[in-house]
Structure 1
């Protein structure tokens, strides 16, 4: 059974191994010892129950309870851009018109902004290729919503998620080649690695003036707001939960930024508290639900069918209760795994 839980110090080697698999453009978890160690240290510091830091990185791992193997990672930044600047492009429109010449042209533009400063961010979602089945990706991604529903005071009322932008089979980003390279004179992979460690150079080198997209190469224009093939399922999942593309893109690869108000997320809005009854003979079948515990450092989330047996009481298989570390009568938070369903 798969369970999502807060990362712990002994998960360091597993986190490093996942970082080796992410590939180009995955800014938040790269094949870099220093970045991985900093991320682990930041996450361990965030899970302090006595403090509610303005900036915190909450990292979670997906563990196969049968084998003990860590197969996935996901995270939430409590607030972005407070210590280091948070940059993206806002896609806008300018109209150039002349009645005398009977000309009317709408031209897309890119303007560098810090509009999402202070927002919470979904980040660092990666599932090992061997574990990409049985709705494990949905569990890994949506488990974060259950944590945010339980501890809303730790997050901003606005939430964003940067989607990895399009790159070809060789890892080349046409958006970067058509725009960023002219100002940085380095490869996309190198710029992406640098941005994950230090964003100061972005402010120093990026153009401050509005950019007309029709002056970019055609393939760069077509990459604006386009999601990497491997990230498209994650984008659809978040859109089904209520997040939307509103015209902001990543300054390196042109990938879309999705956003929503926290309370408008389906899994947060529809989740409910129930008490559990444990049945060791129950064979799980039927619709899948997210089930999460109410603890902070011992937060856990898994997916399973469940059976309602009374007012705010559900029956869970013993194996699920064991994975969640809960006992008879415990209170848990539940919500249907899929959008369009209600509990």
Structure 2
């Protein structure tokens, strides 16, 4: 059975193994031991805090309960940029026009921005390639929204998601090669890794004036707002839940930033409490997200379950054990797919 739960100190080996599989461009989890240990410690502190931290990191692992293997990781930051600056480019338009010359040229621009400072972010989503099947990616991503629905006081009203930008089969980012390299004079992978440790150098080296995109190489311009091939499914999933591209991109690889209001996320809107009845789901059961209501012992699974009316959910004894609930307890329940409803 596949289970989402908060990360624990004992998950170090699994986390470190995943860090070696993410590849260039995955800023939030690279094989840098001090950085990964800081991330783990931050997450442990966030879950153990008596009251929500101003900048908390809630990290979740996807565990195969049959083997104990860590198959993936996902996270939520309660607020970005309160201590370290948080940058992106705002994509805008400037019009150069002359009636006398009969010229009208709208030109796209990139302007360095901190517009999303203080907002919550869903982040650090990575699924081991060996487990990219059976809806595991959907569970890994959507379980975060069950957590946000249960603990809204931990997050801001708006939530963002940075998507990994396009790079070719050799890991080369055309956006970086066409823009960033001119100011940083280092390889994309090195800049990306440094950004996860200290963002001060970004402010020191990036141009302060708007950049005219028509002066960029064609492949760099075409990469603006495009996702990495491995990230496209994650983008589609977020868009199906209500996230939208709003004209902001990553300053390194040009990947899109998606955003929405927490209350507009489909799972947050549609989830509800149901009383647990332990038994065997009937043949007409459908697939749902099921989550308990404990912060430090949060548990979420995707499973077939039978609903009696809108307020009683029948789950198997094995599922009840994994979710750590008993007969009569409450579970938060949401349809796994937008095509299904209560």
TM-score computed with the length of structure 1 as normaliser = 0.98
The residue number in structure 2 matching 1:226 is 226
Q: Deviations over 1:118-174 (max 9, x none)?
A: 000010000000100011100000000000111000001110000000000000000
Unmatched segments (≥5 aa) in structure 2: none
What's the C-alpha RMSD, in Å, of the aligned pairs? 1.1
Contact 1:283–1:317 under 8 Å retained in 2? no
| Structure 2: distance between partners of 1:115 and 1:150 | 27
Q: What residue is the counterpart of 2:13 in the other structure?
A: 13
Assess, with a 3 A threshold, how the Cα gap between structure 1 residues 274 and 49 changes in structure 2: closer, same or farther.
Answer: farther
Task: Give yes or no for the alignment of 1:33 onto 2:33.
Answer: yes
**Paired residue for 1:59?**
59
- What SS class does the counterpart of residue 106 from structure 2 fall into? strand
Check the 8 A contact 1:290/1:303 in 2, yes or no.
yes
Partner of 2:299: 300
Query: Where in structure 2 are the equivalents of 1:37-186 lying within 5 Å?
Result: 37-186=37-186
- Deviations 1:16-56, CA, capped at 9 Å, x for gaps: 00000000000000011111101000000000251111111
- How far apart are residue 288 of structure 1 and its match? 1.1
Matches within 5 A, 1:302-321: 302-310=301-309, 312-321=311-320
Partners in 2 of 1:225 and 1:286 — Cα distance? 39
- Cα deviation code 1:166-194 (max 9, x no counterpart): 00000000000000000000000000000
Residues 166, 254 of structure 2: 8 Å contact kept: yes
**Total equivalences in the alignment:** 342
Shift in alpha-carbon separation, 1:176–1:68, aligned structure 2, 3 A = same
State the distance in 1 between where 2:159 and 2:121 align. Answer: 6
Query: In 2, are the aligned partners of 1:9 and 1:44 still within 8 Å (CA)?
Result: yes
Unaligned ranges ≥5, structure 1: none
Distance 2:64 2:44 in 1: 21
Partner SS state of residue 48, structure 2: coil
Structure 2 Cα separation of the partners of residues 212 and 310 of structure 1: 57
Q: Is the 8 A contact 1:95 1:105 kept in 2?
A: yes
1:4 aligned partner: 4
Maintained 8 Å contact 1:284/1:305 = no
TM-fit CA distance, 1:259: 0.3
Partners in 1 of 2:215 and 2:285 — Cα distance? 54
For 2:238, what is the secondary structure of its paired residue? helix
CA distance in 1, matches of 2:201, 2:49: 35
List aligned pairs for 1:240-251, cutoff 5 A: 240-251=240-251
What is the rounded CA distance, in whole Å, between the counterparts of 1:321 and 1:252 in structure 2? 44
Q: Using the TM superposition, give the Cα deviation of residue 341 of structure 1 relative to its aligned residue in structure 2, in angstroms.
A: 2.5
Q: Which residue of 2 aligns with 1:329?
A: 328
Residues 311 and 210 of structure 1: CA distance in aligned 2, closer, same or farther (over 3 Å): closer
CA distance in 2, matches of 1:45, 1:246: 33
- Cα distance in 2 between the residues matched to 1:140 and 1:284: 26
In 2, Cα distance between equivalents of 1:322 and 1:285: 23
Q: Please, what TM-score do these two structures have when normalized by structure 2?
A: 0.98
